[in-house]
Amino acid sequence: MSEQQTNSFTSVLSINPYTNEYVSGISSFLAPEKSPEYSKEQFVTSYLNTKSYINNQIELSKNIPDEDLSFAIENKVYEELALDMAIEYNIQFIESGHQVDEKERYFHVFIVDPLTMDETFEASVEKIKYIDQIVPVPLLLKGLYQREIVTEVGVHCYIYFQDNDAFFTIYNDQEFVYTKSLKYSIKMMHERFC
C-alpha cells in the first residue's frame, strides 16, 4: 500500500459483529457510533470469535520461496486437516517468531468457512458496505505490546471471556504462540450456574 493511501483514512470504525455495536475512533478519541455509514476515508476493522475459525500450526521447508508460500500453505492445510475440497476456505497465516528447526518454517494458520464469514458480517456489510480488516480475536492482544501497555518480555497467558466466546492465548516474547477456544463463555456459565 502506498504512503498516500495509508494516510487517506481520517477515522477508524470498529465493529462487534456479534452484538452489532460500532465504535468510531478519531485521533485518540473513541465514541459509540449509533448509525454507521460507508465512507471511503474510514478504515473499518472487526474480529472473529475463536469458535468461528480453525486454528492450527504447520511447518514448511525453508526451500519454498516466499512467492509460493500461500499456495504451499493452502495445500498443506487441506491435506493435514482433511478439509472439504469442495469448499474454498479463507486461509490466512502468520509466520511464527519462534523457529525450532533450521530446515523448517512454522506458520500459524487461521481457516474460516466462507459461509461463516457471510453470516457473521451480513448485517454490518449492509450498513457500511466494506470491511478493510478482520482479525482473529486472540491476535488483537498483540496491540498490548505494540502500544507498549505490556512491555515485559517472557511468556504471557491470557484468559478472555466474552458473552458468547472464551479463549486461552499464550504469547512468548511478545509474539503469538497458541490459542484455544474454551467451552465456558459468560452466557454459558450464567446458564449453567445461575
Examine the pLDDT at 7 and tell me if it is beyond 80: no
Average pLDDT over residues 29-56: 91
Q: What is the mean pLDDT of residues 13-20?
A: 92
Residue 132 to residue 155: CA distance in whole angstroms:
31
Q: Are 98 and 174 in contact (CB under 8 A)?
A: no
Beta carbons of 143 and 12 less than 8 angstroms apart: no
- In the chain, what percentage of residues exceed pLDDT 90? 66
Average pLDDT for 117-125: 93
Task: Give the mean model confidence (pLDDT) for residues 26-47.
Answer: 89
Q: How far apart are CA 103 and CA 60, in angstroms?
A: 9
Q: How many CA atoms lie within 13 A of 99 on its CB side?
A: 10
Whole-model pTM: value is 0.83
Q: What is the average per-residue pLDDT within 46-59?
A: 92
Task: Using pLDDT thresholds of 50, 70 and 90, give the confidence band for residue 38.
Answer: confident
Phi, psi (deg, nearest 5) at residue 51: -75, -10
User: Which amino acid would we find at residue 133?
Assistant: Q
Residue 108, pLDDT > 80, answer: yes
Identify the three-state secondary structure at position 182.
coil
Distance CA 64, CA 72 (A): 8
User: Taking residues 57-72, what's their average pLDDT?
Assistant: 92
Question: Is residue 138 over pLDDT 70?
Answer: yes
